[in-house]
Amino acid sequence: MIVRSLAAAVLSFSLLAGPALAQAPGGYQPPAAAPAGAPATLTIGQGVLKGSRAEGVDYFYAIPFAPAPVGDLRWRPPGAAPAWTGERDATEAPPSCQSNEDCLYLNVVRPAGAKRGARLPVIVWIHGSAFRVGQAIGAFGADTEGTEFAKKGVIVVGVNHRLGRAGWFAHPALTKEPGLTANYGNMDQIAALKWVQANIAAFGGDPRNVTAVGESAGAMGILNMMISPEAKGLFQRAVVESGFARTTPTPLADAEATGVKLAEAAGVTGDGPEAAAALRKLPLSALGGAGRIGAPGGPFPVMDGRLYAETVIQGFTAGHEAKIPLIIGGNSHEASLVRPTAAMLAAQPAERQAALMTVFGDDKGKAINDFVTVQSITEPDRAIARLHARNGAPMWLYYFSYVPAAEAARKPYGAAHVDEVRFVFGQPRASFAGEDLPLSDAMNRYWANFARTGRPGAVGGVAWPKFDLAREAQIEFGAEGPKVREHLLKDWRDFVEAQAK
C-alpha cells in the first residue's frame, strides 16, 4: 500500500510539473526540403512525382495519402488518397500537423533508382509527439527522413498524422456519426500503412516486409496496432522506442465529457448533427490549448471500443498481439519528459520517501528521476518483453544510456526522452562528435538489419541476444558501446512491477 500510494503521488506530481518535451540543442530545425540534386521521377497510382536524387538516395516528399481533413472532413476517418495531373513537386517538406490541419502527407526515401520488383525492406516511421507536436521529417534534434537507412538498402516512409484536438477529440455528436471516432491521429497512422501496402512496390519496396518504427506517442500507437484488428497484417515487424506500455486510454465517456465542456465554452451546445457541423466550423484554437503533458483533458488516445478495445498490457497478457518480431526499449532518463524534482519527493510523507530511497538511493533528485523513468518506461518494457516472449514471439530488448560528453553537464540523470532517435537515424551528421558516431552507426545497422531480416543480429559489432525468460538479456547502448546485459536494473524493475500489480 505504501508503494502504491508513493507511485500515485509522485507520478501525479511529476506529470503536472511542467511543459516538457526535450528541447534540441543548437536551435535545430527540421529539413525544409530534400537535398539538392538531379531530378528523380516516379509514377504511382495517384500520379507522377518529381523528387530529388543526391548521393545515391532518392527523396520524394509531401505525398498526400488522404484528403486534407479540413472543413466537413475534420474529425472523420481519413479518405482515399487523392490523385493529381501533371508532375507533382516532391522536393519540399510537408507542413507539420502541429500548425496546419492540411497535413496528411508522407515522405519516401529510398536507394537511388530502386526498381519495382527489388523487394527492398521498408521502415514506416511514426514520430513522437506527446499527441501535440512534431512531424515526420525531423524533430528534437534528429533528421528522420531516412538517408542513412536508404544507404543501407532500406526504404523509409515517414508519416504525418493529425495532432492535438484535431487528432484526439471526442464529443457525443461525433460519436453518433458512422465509422471510427475520437482517435483520428491513430486512424491516420493506419491509413498511411494501408497506403504503403498499395504503393510501396512502385518505389522498389516489399509490402510484405514492413517494419513499423515509432517513438513515444508513435510507439504507443504501434503497440496498440499490434493488438488492434483495425491494423491486422499491415506490418510484419515493429520497433517500439519509449512506448509507455502501461498507460491506459481515456474512457470514451470521460473524453466526451471533456469535449462537451470545451464545445460549450466555445458556444456549441447539443449532441446532434447541428452540433457536429458547428464544431467543424470553429477554429481549433476555440477548443482550448492542449495543456501540460499528462494533465487531464488533454489530447490522448480514447478507449473507443474498436480501435482501442483493451489496454496494451491486457492485450499482450491475453496473447492478442500480432506474434511478429519486436524490439522494445527506452532511455535512462525518460523522466526528462516531466522533470520531477527532489522537492517533490521531499514533500512526501517520510514512509513514502524511505520506501523509494531504499531502492533508488539517497540522492532525492536522482531517486525520483530514476523512479519515474522506470515506472513509465523501463519496467513496462520488461513486462512487454516477458509477455511477447512467453507468447512465442521473437523479442529483443534494449536500454539507451549514452550521453555525449558535450551534454553531460546538463544531463546528470542520463539519456533524455527522444535522445536515441538521433542515434538511430544517424542524422544530421554534423550534430555528432567523432566519438559519438560509432554508437550511432551501430544502432542504425541493428535497426536496418532488423528491417531486412527480422533479427538485429551482430551487425552493430555485438551479437544482440533474443530476449528469453531465463537470462532476460538485452543490449545496453551506453558509454562502452553496445553491451549485453542480463537482468539489467532488476531491483528497480521489480520494485515498480510490484506496485503495478
d(CA 17, CA 489): 26
Query: Which residue in 183, 184, 193 sits closest to 214, CA to CA?
Result: 193
User: What number of residues does the chain have?
Assistant: 501
Over the range 317-342, which residues count as b (16 or more CB within 10 Å of their CB) and which as e?
eeebbbebbbbbbbbbbbbbbbebbe
Residue 238, SS3 per DSSP = strand
| Matching residue, cell 501535440 | 132
Between the alpha carbon of residue 424 and those of residues 4, 100, 214, 299, the distances in Å are: 35, 28, 11, 27
Cα torsion at 92, 93, 94, 99 (round to 10°)? -120
Query: Among 334, 379, 472, 497, which one carries the catalytic annotation?
Result: 334
Which stretches of 163-251 are DSSP H helices? 164-167, 172-175, 184-199, 217-227
Cis peptide before 111 (omega within 30 of 0): no
Query: Which residue in 333, 332, 325, 330 sits closest to 467, CA to CA?
Result: 325
Cis peptide before 428 (omega within 30 of 0): yes
**DSSP 8-state symbol, 306:** S
Question: 3-class secondary structure for 376-430?
Answer: HHHHHHHHHHHHHHHCCCCEEEEEECCCCHHHHHHCCCCCECCHHHHHHHCCCHH
Cα of first residue to Cα of last residue in the chain, in angstroms, is: 11
223 and 312 Cβ atoms separated by less than 8 Å: yes
| Grid cell of 344 as nine digits | 517533490
Q: Which amino acid is at 349?
A: P
To the query of whether residue 12 is one of the catalytic residues in this protein, the response is no
| Grid cell of 151 as nine digits | 544507404
127 and 213 Cβ atoms separated by less than 8 Å: no
Those residues with Cβ within 8 angstroms of residue 22's Cβ, 6 or more apart along the chain or in another chain = 140, 336, 337, 416, 417, 418, 419
Residue 56, SS3 per DSSP = coil
d(CA 388, CA 383): 9
Query: Which residue in 4, 98, 114, 121 sits closest to 60, CA to CA?
Result: 114
Query: Among 52, 96, 216, 336, which one carries the catalytic annotation?
Result: 216
To the query of whether residue 332 is one of the catalytic residues in this protein, the response is no
d(CA 93, CA 70): 20
Positions marked active-site: 216, 334
